[in-house]
Structure 1
Amino acid sequence: MKLDPFYLIVDSAAWIGRLAPLGVRLVQLRIKDMGEDRLRAEIRKAKALCAEHQSQLIVNDHWRLAIDEGCDFVHLGQEDLQTADLLAIRAAGVRLGLSTHDHAELEMAMAAEPDYVALGPIYPTILKKMKWAPQGLERIGEWKRRIAPVPLVAIGGLNPGRLEGAFEAGADSAAVVTDITLNDDPEARTREWIEKTDQWR
């Protein structure tokens, strides 16, 4: 399986409506606290927008709703991995991405036979408080050697100037949240990411 090298993560369908038309091919909808009805509506809207703009939608955490809504990709963190029904996810034909931060988590992830593995944070990140120190580029190479041919997603503190290092170290895709969503001009920043990642398509 080949992942697009530019992996956008946003917290609303509105963001997808704004940025998918620019050429985003891979986007994760990552919503943490929302009632089920509103969440279902957001997933439905995100799915329609992604279909309209030929973008792959990945639903974070909410695997039951993803199955209900006919989505074809979910991403789980380690806590969610321990409680998710992997058989139900596979039976529904849903592909699976998993987060990892250390060797023990990588072993757990690979046992679940994921469609990709994410490693983070590569650099310091402001997105959330992390108990893990920045992994650095060497860890990308180590992870890639251990999981190949499974695709590897690098996440955490990435920006256009750091992309070359991540890809040369072995990442197949680079995930971004705040470098775009907190930018003064998210559209222009998105175009910059697309331009920068073009060479790895």
Structure 2
Amino acid sequence: MKRKAIALFGTAAVLSALGAPAAYAAPPPPRGVTIETADVSGPESCEEHELALSDDRNAFTITYSDFYVAAGGHLPWTDRKRCSILLRILVPSDYTFGINRVDYRGSAELAAGAKGLMRANIFFKGVIDPPEPRILDLKGPYSNNWTVVDEIPPDWVAYRPCGDSRGLYLDSELRVERGSSDPSKVNVIALDSTDGSIKTTYHFAWKTCPK
């Protein structure tokens, strides 16, 4: 899947300036959309997520409560966690959807010489997809929030087949390496939020089905 990832460090305030004009007139989002978690594979921090559909039905959000990795200090040299969430998304029979943009948000505390990365992928159940692209690659020193906008051009959006109800997989992986940093320093990269303010937002691309 062809992607264009734009990394925005320290603030998410400039996101509104990044929207590219649509290549075609997409239909308005349908009514009667429902979304729920069907299955989860990963650490407890992955299971304890919050899922919410936006009021305009153009996006949904995932909020993690404790999804992070840490290395250094009294901890191992490296740490890695992977989270896979299967969503059940029901839409009217005359509509289908894909995902054309994801806004990933998190935070990191990396000492000089340490590294943190995130990989992520989105695909429908039963559909073979390429390996997870490297969405974010941070090198210390770094101490701030981060945002990555992962945009998929209209011609490359993967839509669920019309009349199909297969689930949508959301895969995310975090990894941190102590590297050459001070062994006493603890390095962290996170996709979580203690106050619910850091969310990952998935934007729908809607399409009508032939009658």
Q: TM-score range by the shorter chain?
A: under 0.3
Higher gyration radius (CA): 2
**Higher normalized contact order (CA 8 Å, seq sep 6+, divided by chain length):** 2
- What TM-score, normalized by structure 2, do the two folds share? 0.25
Normalised to the residue count of structure 1, the TM-score between the two structures is 0.26
Higher strand share: 2
